Amino acid sequence: MVKFNTICRSGQERSTNADITKVYRNPNPKVHPLAHAREYQRALVATKVEKIYAQPFLGALNGHSDGVSCIEACRFNLSKLVSGSYDGEIRIWDIPSRRTLIQLNAHQQMVKGVSFSRDGMRIVSSGEDKTINLYDFPQLLEQSNNTFQDPLMRYLSKGTLGNVDHNYQLSQFATAGQVVQVWDYERPKPIMKFQWGVDSVSCVKYSPADSNLICGTSMDRCVILYDVRAESAIHKVAMLNKSQCLAWNPIEPLNIVIGNDDSNCYTYDIRKIELPTMIHKDHISAVMSVAFSSSGREFVSGSFDRTIRIFPFNKGFSREVYHGQRMQQVNSVSFSADAQFVYSGSNDMNIRIWKVNASQKVGIINQRETNATNYRQALKEKFKYNSEIKRIAKHRHLPKYLMNKKKQRQEMKESKNRKQRNAELNNPGQYEAPKPEKQQRIEQFIQ
């Protein structure tokens, strides 16, 4: 019987540097040892290419002789847009051809608001001349050559008017102003009035889910909820600054977004409206207009700082910012019905068309290009927390005046935090901890 002595040790134990270590490889031919490095490099290149080929601006609609005060996209026709200006003119646009279909001298003074009915058959407008005009949209398209078309109905208000919003289900519409008024097609006078306080209401919007619920923002810095069934206001929240605009989330109609003069947007849940659920920051001046996309996942805001920002509904900071060299104060913004484009109206008499995704190709895309785009998006999503890719994807070019103002606001914020830390260290027994930021923005809640 022969006995053999052998040496057995693991591959990690090496007696000398000359020992050969066994290399374990995956026998699957589809798995490459450098697959992760290749994917990272492709994700980096895809992120850089996306920034290089980002061209969000598509074109401008020219024709107004004064600043654009309000715009509204048709919910049932992707190619139609209505706008109002400071000289009382209303224009209906054809987006693909970028030309004016109808030009109406609707009001003697500034157009305060325009709104489509739910079925897209009616257009209602309000002006500073205390008049409300109701138009038949198909009839306007048939007689597009006539500039002086009479409206179906003309209503006269006793007080000044703000914006107007059409009911989602009924043949009614609501107007802001000295009092909130609810109008019916067949009645020459308002069927209902709401008033809480002495200041006028600047903006009202119907709930997309409940036709009896109206939300408004007033000049006394309040956000008010009105119930048509009870014929009274039900909740009132006083903020530190005045709110200019609001928008309901069409998919989650319990949430509303408020645009405030302190350069922030606030998301409220109407079930617990005493505190905002989210603060959206990035603007440096008052927010003039907000609008939700049809998907409810994003909203766009236009500001006095001459920029447009797109916010995810559940994020505190914007994912995209658009600006133009000649673009002035943005008075109104709107999403297209398919949530692919954004329209903005500003004081420079132009309506601009922007892409929601700056690098997205517009036009016919074949299946091979679609698969390549989806693959690049998957790679960017996989490596989105990588420091280099995150830095490149997050970077946005801003004008010099915006950068200086942003830097100044950051210094003010750091100074305030430093002052709070020093007060806490030097006065440990007397120092009171600051309130959360969401509570600091609310002055009073009235039920």
Question: How confident is the model over 2-31, as pLDDT tens digits?
Answer: 787 776 666 566 566 666 667 777 788 777
Dihedrals phi, psi of 233, to nearest 5 degrees: -80, 145
pLDDT attached to residue 138: 85
Judged against a pLDDT cut of 80, whether residue 94 lies above it is answered with yes
Query: How many Cβ atoms from other residues are within 10 Å of residue 83's Cβ?
Result: 26
Residue 194: predicted pLDDT: 86
Helices 387-394 + 35-52 axis angle, to 10: 10
The dihedral region occupied by 306, where left means phi > 0, alpha psi between -120 and 50, and beta the remainder, is left
Which residue from 254, 256, 279, 255 is spatially nearest to 266, judged by alpha carbons? 279
Residue 381, pLDDT above cutoff 70: yes
197 band by pLDDT with thresholds 50, 70 and 90: confident
Give the chain's count of helices (H) and strands (E).
6, 29
Torsions phi, psi for 138 (to 5 deg): -60, -35
- Model confidence at 250: pLDDT above 90: yes
- Residue position matching structure tokens 């946005």: 396
Q: From CA 174, how far away is CA 183, in angstroms rounded?
A: 6
Q: Write out the two tokens for 224.
A: 């008010």
pLDDT single digits (tens) 397-431: 899 999 999 999 999 999 988 988 888 888 877 77
> 335 or 426, which is more confident?
335
Q: Which residue has the higher pLDDT, 440 or 322?
A: 322
pTM over 0.75: yes
Asked whether residue 193 carries a pLDDT value surpassing 60, the answer given is: yes
Q: For a pLDDT cut of 90, what percent of the chain falls above it?
A: 60
* Sign of the four-CA dihedral 175, 180, 184, 190: negative
**Helix (H/G/I), strand (E/B), else coil: 286:** coil
How would residue 198 be classed by pLDDT, with cut points 50, 70 and 90? low
Beta bridge partners of 62: 350
Per the prediction, the chain carries an average pLDDT of 89
Two structure tokens written together for 124: 């209602």
* Concatenated DSSP letters of 118-185: TTSSEEEEEETTSEEEEEEHHHHHHTTT-SSPPPSEEEE-SS-EEEEEE-SSSSEEEEEESSEEEEET
- List, for residues 159-187, the tens digit of each pLDDT value: 889 999 999 988 999 999 989 999 998 89
* pLDDT at res. 392: 94
Residue range 58-66: average pLDDT?
92
User: Where do we find the tokens 């009073």?
Assistant: 444
Return the higher-pLDDT residue of 16 and 152. Answer: 152
Task: Please state the separation of Cα 106 from the chain's center in Å.
Answer: 28
How many CA atoms lie less than 13 Å away from 213 in the CB half-sphere? 14
Adjacent-strand bridge partners of 289 = 302
**Whole-number Å distance between alpha carbons of 430 and 417:** 18
74 burial (CB, 10 Å; 0-12 / 13-18 / 19+) is: buried
Residue 259 has pLDDT above 90, yes or no: yes
What are the tens digits of pLDDT across the range 98-143?
999 989 888 999 999 999 988 888 999 999 999 999 998 888 888 7
Highest mean pLDDT among 27-41, 312-326, 416-430: 312-326
- pLDDT-derived band at 48 (thresholds 50, 70, 90) equals very high
d(CA 310, CA 417): 28
Q: Write out pLDDT tens, residues 288-300.
A: 999 999 999 999 9
The Cα-based distances of 259 to 53, 123, 235, 245, 439 in angstroms read 31, 25, 18, 5, 17
Task: Report residue 20 as tokens.
Answer: 């050969």
Q: What is the pLDDT of residue 141?
A: 84
Q: What is the pLDDT, as a whole number, of residue 142? A: 82
- 78 vs 80: CA distance, rounded Å: 6
